[in-house]
Amino acid sequence: GASSNQGTSSQAGNSENVSTAGSGSTPTWGHGKKSGFVIGFANGYFGNTWRSQFVQDVKNAAKPLEADGTIKSLQVANSNADVSQQINQLNTMINSGVDALMIDPVSATSLGPIIAKAKAKGILVVITNDPAAYSGTYAVVGNNDAFWRIQAEWIAKQLKGKGQIVEITGLSGNTADTIRQNAAKDVLSKYPNIKVLASVPGKWDEATAQSSMSTLLSTYKNIDGILEQDVMAEGVLRAYEDANATPPVMTGDYTFGFLRKWKSMPNLNSIAVSYAPGVGADALEFTIDLLKGKKLKSDSLQANPLNPNLKNTILIDPPYVVTKDANPNAPWMKNLKFTKSISLEEAVKLGQGKSDGAALDAFLTQKQVDSFFQ
């Protein structure tokens, strides 16, 4: 989501008929091995802190597994949002005989042919981070719907269901962004008295967010709340500083930069929901277990965000919801799995020694992972 800079699909791109990944049919991948797996990880975009944390997490998670021989080698390939390049990388990996492919797609819909090729060779395919819907594959992705649903719910509550807000969204056309916007729409439709004055794309870029916010500030006189997406919060704040006005109720983001700033602004009423780069590491854990032949519980798999008929997805809920004071049984914390509500204090502590750009991160514990399997 926040990671990608590139549009990826919001419609189902998968060509074949609906089915559920591997379930039922006995999996053919792993070639019966129990260890010494060769894994290819094709990361579709490489350009911001979130993504590098994402890749780094995967590599860190792989280290112990490589040590104990479970993983023979992990090939990592980055492509700079170049579809052809990614397809070529996948092609190369397939031909070098990987057991499993982890893919963060450049474009959700552009992998059909190459994935078909991989499956034909009995290679396990796991999509991670940016969703994509292909039958016969698994997807381990962050729960974008929950991500903004929580924040929309929160802001609605803060405004007591009444007021004028502006939205600063991500990259128009991007899958994650679309899912999030739909979630927000869905929530706000329940609050008729909350008026969305404008919804401008901030491209997940602080500078863009800042100048867009400035324009909005000069255009609309009274803005009661700002529904804003990840990594752009500081841009919004700066727009207010420049206009020397005080920011209203606003959703924040999960970078330690913002968390620290927030801590330094006692009157700022905000929330931070994490969208963890760790999702890649989680995906690796699932990949290994699947390669080892473990079976998922029938209820573990949920509908793919891009294709409701395709049940092949493990949605990783936001690990943390940060509010000034922890508030586990707030209305916006309903039906979330493994999500902790922590206080700003705790959150900032978690960031000790981390850079401002770094994101509040977390992984599933082995136990949590196992709980998905039979």
Instruction: Pick the closer one to other proteins by CB: 97 or 331.
Output: 97
Instruction: Pick the closer one to other proteins by CB: 54 or 154.
Output: 54
DSSP H or E segment with residue 228: strand 225-228
Task: Tell the smallest beta-carbon distance from residue 69 to other proteins (Å).
Answer: 18
Q: If you count DSSP H runs as helices and E runs as strands, how many of each does the chain have, helices first?
A: 11, 14
Scan residues 118-147 and list those touching other proteins (CB under 8 A).
none
Scan residues 271-290 and list those touching other proteins (CB under 8 A).
none
Task: Tell the smallest beta-carbon distance from residue 285 to other proteins (Å).
Answer: 20
Task: Tell the smallest beta-carbon distance from residue 214 to other proteins (Å).
Answer: 4
Query: Contact region for other proteins (CB under 8 A) — 26-34, 211-219, 320-328, 338-346?
Result: 211-219
Instruction: Pick the closer one to other proteins by CB: 18 or 217.
Output: 217
User: Which residue's entry shows tokens 């060509």?
Assistant: 15
Site size toward other proteins (CB under 8 A) is 86
CA distance 316 to 197: 32
CA distance 86 to 254: 29
DSSP H or E segment with residue 120: helix 112-120
Residue 169 binds other proteins, judged by CB under 8 A: no
Instruction: Pick the closer one to other proteins by CB: 140 or 232.
Output: 232
Following CA atoms 342, 184, 18, 112 in sequence, which dihedral angle do they give, to the nearest 10 degrees? Answer: -90
279 with 142: CB under 8 angstroms? Answer: yes
The correct pick among 64, 69, 97, 122 for binding other proteins (CB under 8 A) is: 97
Instruction: Quote helix, strand, coil % in the chain, to nearest 5.
Output: 35, 20, 45
Query: Contact region for other proteins (CB under 8 A) — 23-31, 63-71, 233-241, 286-294?
Result: 233-241
The correct pick among 18, 23, 38, 47 for binding other proteins (CB under 8 A) is: 47
The correct pick among 36, 64, 69, 113 for binding other proteins (CB under 8 A) is: 113
Helix (H, G, I), strand (E, B) or coil at 115: helix
Query: Contact region for other proteins (CB under 8 A) — 141-149, 198-206, 284-292, 362-370?
Result: 198-206
Residue 308 binds other proteins, judged by CB under 8 A: no
224 with 159: CB under 8 angstroms? Answer: yes
Residue 19 binds other proteins, judged by CB under 8 A: no
The correct pick among 217, 303, 330, 369 for binding other proteins (CB under 8 A) is: 217
Residue 246 binds other proteins, judged by CB under 8 A: no
Could you tell me whether strands 194-201 and 340-343 are parallel, antiparallel, or unpaired per DSSP bridges?
unpaired
126 with 107: CB under 8 angstroms? Answer: no
Which tokens go with 253?
């983001």
The correct pick among 248, 252, 257, 278 for binding other proteins (CB under 8 A) is: 257
322 with 151: CB under 8 angstroms? Answer: no
DSSP-derived secondary structure for 315-366: EE--SEEEESS--TTSGGGTT-SSPEEEEHHHHHHHTTT--TTPBP-----H
Which residues make Cβ contacts (< 8 Å) with residue 80, sequence separation at least 6?
Answer: 45, 46, 47
Task: Tell the smallest beta-carbon distance from residue 83 to other proteins (Å).
Answer: 5
The correct pick among 150, 231, 268, 281 for binding other proteins (CB under 8 A) is: 231
Task: Tell the smallest beta-carbon distance from residue 353 to other proteins (Å).
Answer: 10
Instruction: Pick the closer one to other proteins by CB: 102 or 290.
Output: 102
Amino acid at the residue 99: D
Task: Tell the smallest beta-carbon distance from residue 224 to other proteins (Å).
Answer: 17
